[in-house]
Amino acid sequence: MTFLTPRVATSAPPRLPAYARRMTTTVPALAAPTPGAPFERTTVVRRDLGTHDVLIDIAYAGICHSDIHQAREEWGKGIFPMVPGHEITGTVAAVGPEVTHHLVGDRVGVGCFVDSCRECDACLHGEEQFCEKGAVMTYNGRQYSGEETYGGYSTQIVVDERYVLHIPDGLGLDVAAPLLCAGITTYSPLRRWGPGSTSTSPSSAWADWATSRSRSRTRWAPRSRCSATPSPSRRTASASAPTTTSRPPTRPSSRTSARAST
């Protein structure tokens, strides 16, 4: 399958003007109100479109075991009410005025994170999951502005175009959704290290995130063995590298013992 790689920005992320931050949309969602509690129907607020934002009508959201871990607060203190969902597929319903990667009607997906600093070495090398400032997770996270993030157990989401992936026409949105975490978690180490290697085991961006909450982050180092991630993507890009789960060689070996938590 092919994905559109998030474009690597070379400048600081644009910040919404004050008028845009005040314009929001309320959409239905399923939320865990407290740790371990049954899900309830509720609503969440989505920001109005910024210049590079994409509004997505969510068609599917995979249920990842990471969602269960976090809804039960098994990975440390969570943000509640919590709307999980980081295997999101759907259709672009609207785009901001300067969006270039996606058009209304495009079939798209969103994975584990929805923003990063775009300036650190990791971000500039297409390894945004290792952002030295800390990537903004799709849910149970906070935007750099401090606002909570809510995931795909909802009907719509607004995401910067750089963190929205293109889903090929031949791939159903239902089967594409779980590829955005569970699928990429297994594909990424195979792509990076190749089959037969015993030097790594699958993990996920969520697991990295969870681990990083209790340990100091090891400075990211450029990947040395895998093929290069394509340069900043164009909308017509036909191939890309996974962007969510590669494990840098400098990570402490104890981290590689973590089992997949997808």
Q: Which stretch binds Zn ion (CB under 5 A): 27-35, 66-74, 88-96, 147-155?
A: 66-74
User: Considering the rule CB under 5 A, would residue 8 count as an interface residue with Zn ion?
Assistant: no
**Cα(first)–Cα(last) distance of the chain, in Å?**
20
Q: Which stretch binds Zn ion (CB under 5 A): 52-60, 111-119, 136-144, 191-199?
A: 111-119
CA separation for the pair 5, 235 (Å, rounded):
9
> Do the Cβ atoms of 205 and 139 come closer than 8 Å?
no
Q: What would you measure as the largest C-alpha separation in the chain, in angstroms?
A: 54
Residue selected from 31, 58, 108, 120 as contacting Zn ion according to rule CB under 5 A: 120
Residue selected from 27, 61, 117, 165 as contacting Zn ion according to rule CB under 5 A: 117
> Do the Cβ atoms of 80 and 187 come closer than 8 Å?
no
Contacts of Zn ion in 209-248 (CB under 5 A): none
Specify the residue, 86 or 166, whose C-beta has the smaller distance to Zn ion. 86
DSSP H helical segments within the chain, as ranges? 18-22, 65-71, 121-124, 173-176, 182-193, 205-214
User: Considering the rule CB under 5 A, would residue 95 count as an interface residue with Zn ion?
Assistant: no
Q: How many residues bind Zn ion (CB under 5 A)?
A: 9
Report in angstroms the alpha-carbon separations of 257 from 169, 193, 211, 223, 237: 37, 16, 12, 19, 35
User: Considering the rule CB under 5 A, would residue 64 count as an interface residue with Zn ion?
Assistant: yes
Specify the residue, 4 or 206, whose C-beta has the smaller distance to Zn ion. 206
Q: Which stretch binds Zn ion (CB under 5 A): 70-78, 128-136, 163-171, 210-218?
A: 128-136
User: Considering the rule CB under 5 A, would residue 262 count as an interface residue with Zn ion?
Assistant: yes
User: Considering the rule CB under 5 A, would residue 116 count as an interface residue with Zn ion?
Assistant: yes
In the structure encoding, which two tokens stand for residue 249, read together? Answer: 């060689």
> Do the Cβ atoms of 144 and 136 come closer than 8 Å?
yes
Contacts of Zn ion in 180-199 (CB under 5 A): 181
Q: How many CA atoms lie within 13 A of 179 on its CB side?
A: 18
Q: What are the residues binding Zn ion (CB under 5 A)?
A: 64, 66, 116-117, 120, 123, 131, 181, 262
